[in-house]
Amino acid sequence: RKEVEQDPGPFNVPEGATVAFNCTYSNSASQSFFWYRQDCRKEPKLLMSVYSSGNEDGRFTAQLNRASQYISLLIRDSKLSDSATYLCVVNENSGGSNYKLTFGKGTLLTVNP
């Protein structure tokens, strides 16, 4: 079983659409959670952290359900510039005070005019 699993995608949506990404993780001891976006042939960039109470940043809303080990990202009123690969990322304790990030495979989103 993969440690972090995401919707395989790709998603193609029109401008203005609402799109949701889902992610599950296998390690119940995971400490913190993130969504990153990665543009083609570029490094991943942090989009937002995900908190247990849920959090919102403009058009982006992230949710975490620790009991179900499930993370989601909702994008409202999608823009052309939202086209990218969205990566679900989990921060795990790898021993002592050491942590490491585990990445999902990513879901490609294309927003069409």
Given the complex with other proteins, which of 82 and 86 has the nearer CB atom?
86
Which of these segments, 11-19, 57-65, 69-77, 89-97, binds other proteins (CB under 8 A)? 89-97
Per-residue mark of binding to other proteins, 24-43 (x: CB under 8 A): -------xx--------xxx
Measured from the CB of residue 99, what is the shortest distance to other proteins in angstroms? 6
Using CB under 8 A as the binding rule, whether residue 87 contacts other proteins is answered as yes
In whole angstroms, give the CA distance from residue 24 to residue 6.
Answer: 7
- The CA-to-CA distance between both ends of the chain, in Å, stands at 37
Please give the residue ranges that form the binding site for other proteins (CB under 8 A).
Answer: 4, 31-32, 41-45, 87, 91, 94, 97-106
